[in-house]
Amino acid sequence: MKTQITELFGIEHPIIQGGMHYVGFAGLAAAVSNAGGLGIITALTQPSSDALAREIGRCREMTDKPFGVNLTFLPSRNPPDYPGYVRAIIDGGVRIVETAGNNPQQWLPALHEAGIRVIHKCTSVRHALKAESIGCDAVSVDGFECGGHPGEDDVPNFILLPRAADELRVPFVASGGMADGRSLVAALAMGAAGINMGTRFVATAEAPVHRKVKQAIIAATELDTRLVMRPLRNTERVLNNAGVERLLKKERRLGADITFSDIAEEVGGVYPRVMRDGDLDAGGWSCGMVAGLIHDIPRVGDLIDRIMRQAEEIVATRLQGMLSRA
Ligand SMILES: Cc1cc2nc3c(=O)[nH]c(=O)nc-3n(C[C@H](O)[C@H](O)[C@H](O)COP(=O)(O)O)c2cc1C
């Protein structure tokens, strides 16, 4: 399949694996890229810019296809070493960067000068237009159903994607709730040039996370996610668990007075405990409503082949059939 996104990134299929804390290591990124999608290493999971440089090198040993690096800009009083991470990305010869979390403007000149394409992930049309206006090459439009940070506008993809299509000139991918060939065809129908998936890629053989995490996603339905940190305007969609219920109880009790330190136990340092150790109740960890559509743990290559086959079948047989019958 050829779309503006496959052309822009030099990939075979319009499927991107979004950056994921403690999931987006080189092994998963290389598996996605080898299968013809775009795999993405998550920079901030690496403890230093040197470690990121090594992870980029490891990915290059596993694939000769294009892959990217996610740079998430967090609200933080002690920001991570962003200049160091950007340097590691440029020196490592990475060609694609996914930015998220905040306006990437200050890093664009250095990235573009190095010939890097930038896709910015955002949750509203106004932020997508801003990304376009500052020179991002593409946008990832993340609907309210997404795992991770859906923003504060709560607009689901059935509205957000056509709105984005009406306003944007740069190509965009649909993110949030994407699982299979049906998602891909629907996203393309609404004007997107591909899909970005998070949760679906966690439940794959190559995702370097504890098997209990994959099983929890399979066991979950679309009713099992919760929104946390809403009072702090840092909303995250997570899989419900004992730690999340404790967190939500604190949010109800403290109301508008709540601060980060009140919930540090349930949101700080949770990812390694969940993803590496399988301590599922440690606190909030991102998971999309799409868990309700995930029932297996395929190899990444089989998943991507299945999505593309199903998408082609829907277009060429089901939809075309409706037209010919008319
Ligand atoms: C476990 C997990 C961790 C994530 N961590 C990040 C992250 O560090 N940075 C980021 O930009 N997005 C992160 N995301 C969001 C994904 O990149 C993607 O946008 C989102 O999962 C799409 O929604 P879906 O889960 O419905 O596919 C994370 C998602 C998951 C499920």
Residue type, 177: G
Beta strand segments in 60-215, E: 67-72, 96-100, 117-122, 138-142, 172-175, 195-197
pLDDT the model gives residue 74: 84
pTM of the predicted structure, to 2 decimals: 0.98
Phi, psi of 100 (to 5 degrees): -160, 160
* Helix ranges restricted to H, 255-319: 264-267, 270-271, 300-313
Q: How is residue 63 annotated by DSSP?
A: -
Rounded CA Rg of the chain:
19
pLDDT the model gives residue 326: 79
Any residues with Cβ below 6 Å from ligand 1, and which? 18-21, 23, 42, 70, 72, 100, 121, 142, 146-148, 175-178, 196-200, 202, 285-288, 290
Residue 148 Cα to ligand 1 midpoint, Å, equals 5
Which residues of the chain register pLDDT less than 50?
none
pLDDT the model gives residue 77: 77
The strand order across the sheet containing 39-42 reads: 15-17, 195-197, 172-175, 138-142, 117-122, 96-100, 67-72, 39-42
pLDDT the model gives residue 87: 98
Render pLDDT for 156-209 as a digit per residue (tens, 0 to 9). 999 999 999 999 999 999 999 999 999 999 999 999 999 999 999 999 999 999
pLDDT the model gives residue 133: 98
pLDDT the model gives residue 274: 98
Ligand 1 nearest-atom number relative to CA 287: 31
Length of the chain: 326
Q: Which residues of 298-326 are buried (b: 16+ CB within 10 A; e: fewer)?
A: bebbebbeebbebbeebbeeeeeeeeeee
pLDDT the model gives residue 223: 98
